[in-house]
């Protein structure tokens, strides 16, 4: 099987990473003990009651020159 190398068009590095960024809003119900139904004595931020994703994006990033390529470029690279 032939291995295909992907090269950064700016610096010619082959160190490219596919990255996925996402933002979330975490909600905790306010009750008599620690915030959140799942938190009973102390607040643990990972024990949220609801999580909503507000945004996300994918891009390629060159580890050498830190250039970021949009989703359109991502599909061109992968063809």
pLDDT digits (tens, 9 = 90+) for 7-17: 888 999 999 99
Cβ neighbours for 8, distance < 8 A, ≥ 6 positions apart: 14, 15, 16, 62, 64, 65, 67
Rounded CA-CA distance 37/31 in Å is 7
Confidence of residue 30 (pLDDT cuts 50, 70, 90): confident
Q: What's the confidence (pLDDT) of residue 5?
A: 77
Cβ contacts of 32-39, under 8 Å, gap ≥ 24: none
Q: Is pLDDT above 90 for 66? A: yes
Cβ neighbours for 51, distance < 8 A, ≥ 6 positions apart: 24, 25, 26, 27
Task: Note the pTM of the prediction, 2 decimals.
Answer: 0.60
- To which H or E segment does residue 39 belong? none
Q: What's the confidence (pLDDT) of residue 65?
A: 97
| DSSP count for the chain of H helices, then E strands | 1, 3
């Amino acid at each position: 099987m032939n291995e295909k190398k992907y090269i950064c068009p700016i610096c010619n590095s082959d160190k490219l990473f596919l990255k996925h960024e996402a933002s979330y809003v975490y909600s905790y119900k306010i009750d008599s003990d620690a915030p959140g139904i799942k938190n009973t004595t102390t607040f643990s931020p990972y024990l949220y009651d609801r999580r909503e994703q507000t945004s996300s994006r994918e891009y390629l990033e060159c580890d050498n020159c830190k250039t970021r390529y949009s989703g359109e470029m991502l599909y061109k690279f992968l063809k």
